[in-house]
Amino acid sequence: MNLREILKDAKEQLALSEIDGVDAEILLAHVLGISRMDLHNPVLLERTLEALDDKSIPLETFHDLLARRILHEPLQYITGTAYFRNLELKVGPGVLVPRPESELLVGAVLTHIANLPAPVSVIDLGSGSGALALAIATEASNSRVIAVEKSDEALVWLKKNVETIVEDLRIVHSDVNDALPGIKCDVVIANPPYIEDESDLPRDVVEHEPAIALFGGKDGMDAPRQFISSASRLLKSGGLLAIEHNEKQGTFIKDALSADFEEIQLHQDLAGRPRWTSAIRKNT
């Protein structure tokens, strides 16, 4: 069958489920073991097809994956891979798919770390796949990172990524409220569950990604308040907290921080929406 016809038919099927047709290209490239850009390179594509044992496109596998995407399973779960900054992370059911918006927080934290004497101790609360922790660990050679995660399901993916990318990153299986008693650090990063319980989310998210990593109570602030309390306990005086939240929670976050933190700053994402806040632990 003509490759263009295969993609055209797949994109039409995805459109019926209101899914971007580019996902068909990504899935086909995944099945063929090439990049999406290689899919549009006639020479490389021909070589790939010639190298297949049966000299044909593995249509059955492609259509199986396409069927999963049509049912709104996240693309990253289907391919088993999510990209975050310079990292290629393993993800699947039970762990939140890393969002590109988090990359801005990481970039700012890296700038802060670069101005501190080594070693800089960093704790990632609610680490999930390890995206934030691993980005810091791989891009800041003067850092020592601990990833805290309580979910058994997410822990599986966190361990896989740490084993593949940075073996000396420490993993702590714990609720943030009880994690690392007696420990003090220079930086805490956190992407807590902050979505309001009654929020209307895309099917990809609400039907497949773990609720424990998404929802933070009626106003979405239950988990962020706990994370802020834990950060207050864990940070040295003058230590930095960087915490993600949604665009409506900036004032709530500031209020929760005001008792123990100063220099509270609200930061925007690339679309100009308030997405995360930084603060400095007051002297105690």
pLDDT at 57: 63
Q: Residues of the chain with pLDDT > 90: what percent?
A: 84
Q: Where are the domains of the chain?
A: 3-71, 84-281
Is residue 92 predicted with pLDDT exceeding 90? yes
When comparing pLDDT for 40 and 190, which is higher? 190
Is residue 54 predicted with pLDDT exceeding 90? no
What kind and span of H or E run contains 206? helix 203-208
| pTM for the whole structure | 0.91
Q: Does domain 84-281 have CATH number 3.40.50.970?
A: no
pLDDT at 223: 97
Closest CA to 39 of 14, 63, 3: 3
Do 117 and 94 form a contact (C-beta atoms < 8 A)?
no
pLDDT tens readout for residues 188-224: 999 999 999 989 999 999 999 999 999 999 999 999 9
Please state the rounded mean pLDDT for residues 149-166. 97
Average pLDDT, the chain: 93
Q: Using CA atoms, how far apart are residues 129 and 179, in angstroms rounded to an integer? A: 18
pLDDT at 35: 83
Do 251 and 260 form a contact (C-beta atoms < 8 A)?
no
Is residue 44 predicted with pLDDT exceeding 80? no
Please state the rounded mean pLDDT for residues 10-28. 95
- Please enumerate in sequence order all residues whose Cβ is within 8 A of that of 189, keeping only pairs 6 or more positions apart, or say none: 105, 106, 109, 122, 123, 124, 125, 132, 133, 136, 241, 242, 243
Closest CA to 214 of 198, 234, 231: 198
- pLDDT-wise least confident of 40-49, 125-134, 147-156: 40-49
Give one word for 126, left, alpha or beta, with left for phi > 0 and alpha for psi -120 to 50: left
DSSP 143-173: EEEEEEE--HHHHHHHHHHHHHH-TT-EEEE
**Band of residue 48 on the pLDDT scale cut at 50, 70, 90:** low
Residue whose tokens read 């934290």: 109
Amino acid at 255: D
**Band of residue 116 on the pLDDT scale cut at 50, 70, 90:** very high
Is residue 155 predicted with pLDDT exceeding 70? yes
